[in-house]
Amino acid sequence: MHVLGIETSCDETGIAIYTDHGLLAHQIYSQAAKHAEYGGVVPELASRDHIRKLAPMVRKLLAEHDLSAADIDGIAYTAGPGLAGALMVGAAFARSLAWAWNKPAIGIHHMEGHLLAPLLEADAPAFPFVALLVSGGHTQLMQVEDIGDYTLLGESVDDAAGEAFDKTAKLLGLGYPGGPALAKLATQGNPNRFHFPRPMTDRPGLDMSFSGLKTAAVTTWRNESEDLTPEAYAQLQADIARAFEDAVVDTLLIKCCRALQQTNNQRLVLSGGVSANQRLRQAVAEHLANQGGQAFYPRPEFCTDNGAMIAHAGWHRLNAGEQTPLHFPVHPRWPMEELQPLHTNYGK
C-alpha cells in the first residue's frame, strides 16, 4: 500500500509517501521566512501559501519517483488540531484528490502523527511507552498502550513549552522562529548567573506550567538590561537564554521521570518541535541510561511538522479499514482520547 500524506496544520507544507516497506519519500516547505517579518504566524498568509504549494509539490514528488495516481492506494491528511484555515486547505485538497482518483482518505490527528514519528526510525520503541509531546502548541504526557490507545497523564495548564520558548526569544529580540535561536544562544550563556523557577515541580502531579518562566525572564531582563555595553548586553541575552532553557529542560525531565514511575514504564518517547532541543535530549538520555531506561526520538527533520508522520499514521489507520467521509471535517481543537485504538500489538 502506498499512502500519500499531506500536512498543513500551521506554517509548514509537508507531503510524503509511506509504503508497506517504509517511508519512500517526503518534502517540506517552510513558510518561516514569510512570517518572520510579522514576528509570528499570520493564519491567512499561511493558508494562501499552502494553496500555492500543494499541487506543485505533489506533482514533483510523484514524478521524481515515477509514480502516478494509479500507484497511490490512499491519502492521509492532517484534520487537526491546528489553524482552521490551513487545515481546511489540506483537507479540501486531499479529499478532492481522493474523489478524483477514487481512493480512500483518512483525516489524521496532528499530535498522533508526532507521537508515532519515532516509529519511522530503525530503533523504534515497542509498546507500551510514555510519550512527551512537546511543541509550540502542545505539551502533554501520554500513556501509550498501542496506536490510538492513549491516556492523558498531564499537560501544560497555560503556555506550551515551545510557545514559551518563542515568546522569550521575542523578548530577547531573537526574531521568529525563536525557539531554535534561543537554544543556540543558550550555548554561550553562563549557567550559574541566573536561576529561574521549575514550575509545579514542588507538588504532586504531572501537569506543567511555563508562563511563570516567561515572567521570570521578563523581570530579569528589565532589571538587568539598563546602561550596558554591547558586549555585556549580548552576554545578558545569552545568560537569560541559558537560565530559561535549563528551567524548561529540568521541568520536563522531572515530569517525565514521574510519569515513567507512575506507569511503571522504562520507555520514553519525545516528539514534537521542542524534542529537537539538544539539551533536552542529552538530559533525558543521561538520566534514563542511569536508570536502565530508554529514550526514543524522531530524527530532527521529523520533529517539526512534516508529511512523513501523517503518511505513516495514515498508513496504519487505512490498513485497519478506517476512512473519513466526503464532508472532511477539520478539528482546530481535538483531544487525542477521542481517537479509536487499532489494537495492532505493534512491536510486541
pLDDT of residue 329: 85
pLDDT of residue 346: 61
> Per-residue pLDDT for the chain (348 aa), expressed as one digit of tens each?
999 999 999 999 999 999 999 999 999 999 999 998 888 899 999 999 999 999 999 999 999 999 999 999 999 999 999 999 999 999 999 999 999 999 999 999 999 999 999 999 999 999 999 999 999 888 999 999 999 999 999 999 999 999 999 999 998 999 888 889 999 999 999 999 999 999 999 999 999 999 889 899 999 999 999 889 999 999 999 999 999 999 999 999 999 999 999 999 999 999 999 999 999 999 999 999 988 899 999 999 999 999 999 999 999 999 999 998 888 789 999 989 899 998 776 655
- CATH for the stretch 3-115+302-338: 3.30.420.40
User: Do 3-115+302-338 and 125-297 come out as alike in CATH topology?
Assistant: yes
Between CA 183 and CA 330 the distance in angstroms is 33
3-state DSSP helix/strand/coil percent for the chain, to nearest 5? Answer: 45, 20, 35
CA distances from 326 to 93, 99, 301, 317 (A): 12, 8, 32, 17
Question: What is the DSSP code (8-state) at residue 265?
Answer: -
Q: What is the pTM of this model?
A: 0.94
pLDDT of residue 343: 74
Q: Is residue 7 classed exposed, middle or buried when 0-12, 13-18 and 19+ CB atoms within 10 A define those classes?
A: buried
Question: What is the DSSP code (8-state) at residue 281?
Answer: H
Residue appearing with cell numbers 518563542? 166
Contacts made by residues 56-62, CB under 8 angstroms, sequence distance 24+: 57/13, 57/15, 57/27, 57/29, 58/4, 58/6, 58/15, 58/97, 60/27, 61/15, 61/16, 61/17, 61/25, 61/27
Between CA 145 and CA 149 the distance in angstroms is 5
pLDDT of residue 14: 98
- CATH for the stretch 125-297: 3.30.420.40
pLDDT of residue 347: 54
Between CA 111 and CA 96 the distance in angstroms is 24
pLDDT of residue 176: 82
pLDDT of residue 136: 84
Between CA 83 and CA 65 the distance in angstroms is 31
Q: CA 93, 97, 102, 106 torsion: positive or negative?
A: negative
Greatest distance between any 2 Cα atoms in the chain: 67
Between CA 73 and CA 60 the distance in angstroms is 18
Question: b vs e for 332-344, b when ≥16 Cβ sit within 10 Å of the residue's Cβ?
Answer: eebebeebeebee
> Any alpha helices (H) in the chain, and if so which ranges?
32-36, 43-64, 84-101, 110-116, 161-171, 178-186, 211-224, 230-263, 278-291, 307-319
Listed by start position, the domains of the chain span 3-115+302-338, 125-297
